[in-house]
Amino acid sequence: MLTLLAVPTFFAGMMTSPLLVTHYEGLVGQVMGDFDVSQNTEVYLTDLVTKLVPNTDTKGIAAFMAVSMGLIMIVIPILNWLVVCLLWLVPIKRNRTLVHLAAFARILYGWNALDALFFALFVTKLELHLVGNWILNDRVPELCGAVSSNLGEECLQLSVSYLNGFWLLIATLVAFIPLMVLTFFYEDNLIRRRDISEVSDDDLSIGGGVVESGDNISPSPGVDGDLRDPLLRNDSIVDEAGFDSASSK
């Protein structure tokens, strides 16, 4: 119960807190400071959805990426938590409903990209300075070389520092992943333990599955009783006079 309550608390804190801050240093950072341009930029999770399209020329791809990230990093984690709450808090009597909800929770968890967000932020801290240096050295290599040789400074250095949102993301994962593993383990064992006696009398069992009583179930020809095809029988066909039909030819 505490874990169920902890997940939305951590997630809401992560949504409203900056994940990280980027620092512009080097000669470019000094120039930005001289022109009263902020050298620090805080990044929120919602920025991946709201600020991606306005800050790029490829609007179509950016819109697709923004919608996709909004789904897998915001909408689906919330739906995943709601389905888990149903599995733990609502008594489910019908085995079919339990199986469907457990399967839906697995699908949502497969599309839950909070763990991917964690690794993306981790790699950002390690590699962002390389991206900044590569862009400047590719665009103005002579200028950056002159600045480095004459002034002993880099043109641009990008560094990243984690803020509260990143640590709340880790807390969300620490609470959510064990909850999902426990949910899958418990539901699988519960489904296996339920025998046919727990299925209501209005249901019919066909091949181990449960079918609603309202479903139209017709016997399969060629299987039961007199519906078997005579050609499939092992005994020979005898006519009314008692002669074998095969010998009469």
> Is the separation of the CB atoms in 3 and 178 below 8 Å?
yes
At residue 78, the pLDDT reads 96
Greater confidence (95 vs 203) lies with 95
Mean per-residue pLDDT of the chain: 75
At residue 184, the pLDDT reads 84
Tens of pLDDT, residue by residue over 150-191, are 666 667 777 889 999 999 999 999 999 988 888 888 877 776
Q: Where are the domains of the chain?
A: 2-198
**Amino acid at residue number 32:** M
At residue 29, the pLDDT reads 67
- 120-125: average pLDDT: 91
Q: Is residue 224 predicted with pLDDT exceeding 50?
A: no
**CB neighbours (10 Å) of residue 66?**
17
pTM beyond 0.85: the answer is no
Q: Is residue 64 predicted with pLDDT exceeding 70?
A: yes
Euclidean distance between the first and the last CA atom of the chain, given in angstroms as a whole number: 80
Q: Using alpha carbons only, how large is the chain's radius of gyration in Å?
A: 32
Q: Which residues contact 159 (CB under 8 A, 6 or more apart)?
A: 22, 23, 25, 128, 129
Q: Nearest-CA neighbor of 104 among 114, 96, 94?
A: 96
Q: What is the DSSP letter of 220?
A: P
CA 221 to CA 229: how far, in whole Å?
8
At residue 40, the pLDDT reads 84
